[in-house]
Structure 1
Amino acid sequence: METRARTAEETRERILSAACEAIAEVGFEKIRMKMVAERAGVSTALLHYHFDTREKLFTEAMTHSFATSAGLEDDTTTAPAAVVLARIVHSLLPTDPELRQDWRLWQELWVRSLRDEKTRLFAVDLYAQLHAWVGGAIEQGVASGAFRSADVDRLSTLVLALSDGYGIRLMLGDPTVNVDDVLAAIWRPVAEELGLPPEFPGI
């Protein structure tokens, strides 16, 4: 029984990973269930067993992408609070191929949110989770005494806003910005608020 459940979960994960890759590559509007099934190495019938509509597959793929990129390393409980927060900031930006794929998914989500109310509500909920992720790291740092007391809600909103703005420019290949400068620009106001050194920590 456990083996069957584990196999089903592994199949589901494979499908979601394939969906993330396909959506990022060609866009949601061009995605067909057969395309995802072939990429995942499963039958179309099995894909429909797990995800009966394209819309459900899209939202589950976004959730999967978020959960993967928002997974903190195992040593976050022992890492300095500033390093934990810096890792989160780094992961909010398209700083490697995997995160660039995540950003393509977010861009698809933004476009769909303009046309579909359910997608818009889903996007708002994902942003709330991002906000809680950033805020949780700040709260832990304040509680441990590593950070100066701050308005956590406002600072979390600022981090997300700066990450979105700079992230778009990085995705566009804007020659006037680079990853190091972006990390520094986001970190400076955060560090000032929390009483930390202005240099982005080594992560």
Structure 2
Amino acid sequence: MPRKTATARRAEVLEETLTQIRALGMAAVRVADVAEASGVSPALIIYHFGTKENLLSEALVHACAQDLSTLDSIVAGPGSPAARLLAALDWYAPSGPARGWTIWIDAWSVALRDNTLSRVLTDLQRRWIDAIAAVIDDGVTAGLFPLVDSVAVAGRLTSYLDGLAVRSVVHRSRPPRRELRSGIIRQLAWELSVDPAVLADP
């Protein structure tokens, strides 16, 4: 059997870290547990990641990589700005397939006392906001939306969906997908000062 590359081994460790986070919670994960489940020594994990905090942060980035790649494809893809904007928000929303919301909410809690994780979360959130703001700017350029502070609008929209995610995960009260979509359209129409009909995608 060929020897695994360092990149492959690193990805395995990050995947196992995510498994441990889902099972135990981010605060309870130990390097020793990840090492044992991954079949490597704790010293090797510390060699590659430095600290437990770095390991958790890189695991979170690893978990978000595919969703961010999909988001980039949505915002740069075909369709009107309104259609792409709704698709991006659908992807972000707690009823959609994007991200492991349980991990994100867990990470928010741990980040209150972990500066490394807090910085990573801030960077990841900024990437979501910038991508959504870019589509809003496309709509402004096309004359579909009025001139707005797109970053501020994207920040408020993602905060709205973050709140719904907390309710969905913590309180187990998830609105039906159709109701959630209607709420997104109403909120977006209010933020952009447009008729909701303008946002109806094909």
| Same-fold status (TM-score > 0.5) | yes
Write the deviation string for residues 7-66 of structure 1: whole angstroms up to 9, x where unpaired: 322222222222222212211122122322344x44124433322321011111111222
Counterparts of 1:141 and 1:180 in 2: how far apart (Å)?
A: 24
Is this contact kept in 2: 1:33–1:54, CA < 8 A? Answer: yes
Unaligned residue ranges in structure 1 (runs of 5+): none
Query: 2:111 matched to which residue of 1?
Result: 113
Alignment of 1:79-118 (within 5 A): 79-80=78-79, 81-95=81-95, 99=99, 102-118=100-116
**Structure 1 residues 140 and 194, CA, compared in 2 at 3 Å: closer, same or farther?**
farther
Contact 1:88 1:134 in 2 (8 A): yes
The CA distance in 1 between the partners of 2:183 and 2:76, in whole Å, is 26
Point out the more displaced range, 161-170 or 76-85: 76-85
CA distance in 2, matches of 1:103, 1:179: 16
Q: CA RMSD in A?
A: 3.0
- Matched with 1:68 is 66
Confirm whether residue 149 of structure 1 aligns to residue 146 of structure 2: yes
SS in 2 for 1:56: helix
- Determine the C-alpha separation between the residues in 2 that align with 1:120 and 1:14: 24
Q: Which amino acid aligns with 2:131?
A: W
Using the TM superposition, name which of 193-202 and 166-175 deviates more.
193-202
Match 2:131 to one of 133, 154, 161:
133
Supply the distance in 1 between the matched residues of 2:185 and 2:124 (Cα, whole angstroms). 23
Indicate the residue corresponding to 1:16 in structure 2: 14
Partner of 1:174: 173
C-alpha distance in 2 between matches for 1:198 and 1:70: 26
In structure 1, the residue corresponding to 2:131 is in which secondary structure? helix
Aligned-pair identity in percent equals: 23
The alpha carbon displacement at 1:191 in A equals: 3.8
Q: Unpaired segments of 5 or more residues in structure 2?
A: none
User: In structure 2, do the counterparts of structure 1 residues 46 and 190 end up closer, same or farther at CA, with 3 Å as the change threshold?
Assistant: same
Distance apart, 1:180 and its partner CA? 2.6
Kindly tell me: are residues 117 and 51 of structure 1, through their superposed partners in 2, closer, same or farther at Cα, counting changes over 3 Å? Answer: closer
1:54 paired residue number: 52
TM-fit CA distance, 1:96: 5.5
